[in-house]
Amino acid sequence: MPPLRPLASALTLTAALGLALLPPQVADAMCTCMMRPRPPRPRPPSEQSILLSRATRAVMMRDGTRTVLAFQNDYVGPPEDFALLVPVPSLLREDDVRTLPHDVFRRLEAVAAPRMIELWEQPPCPQRTPTTRRRRSIGALDAVGASASGRQERAAAGADDVRVQPVRVEARFSEAEYDITILGADDSFALERWLRAHDYELPPGAGAVLRPYVQQGMKFFVAKVDASRLRRGVGPQMLSPLRFHFDSETFRLPVRLGLLNSDGLQDLVVHVLAPDTRYEAANYPNAVAPTNLPLHPAAAPHFERVYDAFFDKLRAHRPGTVVTEYAGPVSGLRPPRPCLGCDRPGLSERDLDLLGADVLPSRVAGGLARRMVLTRLHYRYGRSALPDDLVFRPAPAIRGGHENAAAPELATRARRARGNRFGVRFIAKHRWRAPTTCRSPRRNVWGGRPWGPFPDAPPEALPPGAHVPLDRWIEGRVPAIGLR
């Protein structure tokens, strides 16, 4: 008997973001005239977005009754041991399923992830212009972010040569490295037996979790990897992202199967894209995360851990709540006037087509990126805290976290607006600490890190596993997490 293939009973949805814009080198030049060297171009503020280490991640599009679901698997292990099971409300055909390039998920994460803006107080006294020409780099925005590796979940596919009724193989086709089977079932325990009969190892209790989906008449999308069709390269094997679409009156994400393999806290991050509409959970409490929170500059090197501890506090004060972390445009933000920390990257029309816009009923040539609203929903849960699949509903537009980060007073709560433009943002301000030597120093002028040495306090160490002192590092009142 061949060895059992492990079956992960849910979506393994992972999007990895790692973006760094490095300053290009400016070459030294020879010329026949003498000129005063131009001072270095001012640096923009530094930005950093979060990395979630254990997350399930999905990207969904909604237009009318059409739903598009895309996800990326960051499975580590022998590819022949990988399979995936997803309940879907209707029969999928070969044309409904496709694979995607990995980098579209990176670009999506760059738009919506919570971020930190670092500002430096500019030298209060005028700086002397250099009298010698030196090799310099042009300052560039460091936008570094990553989304998290999720808990790996495998799922089942079986051949149709073993007849275990009442389970039906309704379609079978291949896409890239995946062999895909669509199953129909009239009995959840018969489905569980069918999978086990095809040498898949299911977690205990799978039949009970499958039962609600079978009772609703849902189909089961099953994908397993043909290792011979994988592109071999250096490093861990990354499976191609999958995308499929279907029509359903209810807009929801099936997530209960993922609890079978969960052994602790899990982060669920859902990105919803829809024309002109923000979405929220319809069957769970909702909250919008605070934004524009002042962060002590000593905490800046530890932003990912700061945000993880911050979200834990948010969850403790609002248990069972789905948190909105972003609601805004996907076309990018480039303010016409100087606005520190206001820029956001965007998605192109091609990116939107890859994620599903090409199959939306209202798809028109051009201009879709300007109408699309991206919502990022974040839910952290344990094994007993996610009893139902997530159902989504339209929500009013909100605004916040896109103002000039250098402003002295910024609202920390989202507010209603005509259009969506909200993002979670922390702001760390590095003050000039050296004595001033001029008569009229200009204070509170903010920007990127000045060229040359900066009189800054050294960062604080935060050993692995150490307590994150939110009460000291987050400056000001934040009632949402109990800081008053």
Per residue in 78-92, pLDDT (tens digit) is 666 667 788 888 888
For 163-198, what is each residue's pLDDT tens digit? 446 899 999 999 888 888 898 998 888 888 887 887
pLDDT the model gives residue 259: 60
Average pLDDT, the chain: 77
Q: Which is higher by pLDDT, 104 or 73? A: 104
pLDDT the model gives residue 11: 36
pLDDT the model gives residue 236: 53
* Tokens, residue 357: 């816009």
pLDDT the model gives residue 416: 95
Q: Say if residue 314's pLDDT is above 50.
A: yes
pLDDT the model gives residue 238: 67
For 229-242, what is each residue's pLDDT tens digit? 876 654 556 678 88
463-470 mean pLDDT: 91
Q: Say if residue 469's pLDDT is above 60.
A: yes
36-65 mean pLDDT: 70
Task: Write down the pTM of the prediction.
Answer: 0.78
Q: Does the N-terminal peptide bond of residue 123 adopt cis geometry, omega within 30 degrees of 0? A: no
Q: Say if residue 17's pLDDT is above 70.
A: no
Q: Which of 41-55, 304-318, 433-447 has the lowest mean pLDDT?
A: 41-55
Q: Which is higher by pLDDT, 431 or 456? A: 431
**Residue indicated by tokens 């095809």:** 198
Q: Which of 87-91, 110-114, 144-148, 456-460 has the lowest mean pLDDT?
A: 144-148
For 122-168, what is each residue's pLDDT tens digit? 999 876 654 444 433 322 223 323 233 332 332 333 333 444 468 99
385-398 mean pLDDT: 88
